């Protein structure tokens, strides 16, 4: 896959199920929230700013050539689409040590 080869070699996105499973022996999952829609908007802003930087000639053409620009543009748009289609998610998880105190999630 493109992202594993060019952007995050050896990267891994654990599922929410695994985030809970691997923590449950030592921690309590106090809160889990999906920020995927917010991250989609973040990626859209990053793409807009990236294109503006390309148009201004901010990048050194010897170091960041056309392949570099296409690769990062593809990455930003691909991820935007994945979050929009709800294929990819961004979770924030709050863990606490197993103890009697109660965590109240701020909303």
pLDDT of 107 above 80: no
Taking only the tens place, the pLDDT of each residue in 2-18 is: 899 989 999 998 999 99
Active-site position among 79, 84, 98, 100: 79
The pTM assigned to this predicted structure is 0.81
- Scan for tokens 């000639």, then name that residue: 57
18-28 pLDDT, tens digit per residue, is 999 999 889 99
Active site residue 53: no
Q: Is 25 exposed, middle or buried (0-12, 13-18, 19+ CB in 10 A)?
A: exposed
Show Cβ contacts of residue 11 under 8 Å, excluding neighbours closer than 6 positions. 3, 4
């Amino acid at each position: 896959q493109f992202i594993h080869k060019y952007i995050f070699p050896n990267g891994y996105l654990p599922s929410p199920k695994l985030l809970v499973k691997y923590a449950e022996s030592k921690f309590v999952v106090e809160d889990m929230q999906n920020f995927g829609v917010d991250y989609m908007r973040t990626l859209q802003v990053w793409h807009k700013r990236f294109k503006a930087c390309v148009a201004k000639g901010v990048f050194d053409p010897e170091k960041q050539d056309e392949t570099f620009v296409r690769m990062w543009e593809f990455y930003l748009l691909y991820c935007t689409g994945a979050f929009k289609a709800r294929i990819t998610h961004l979770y924030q998880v709050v863990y606490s040590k197993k103890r009697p105190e109660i965590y109240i999630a701020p909303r």
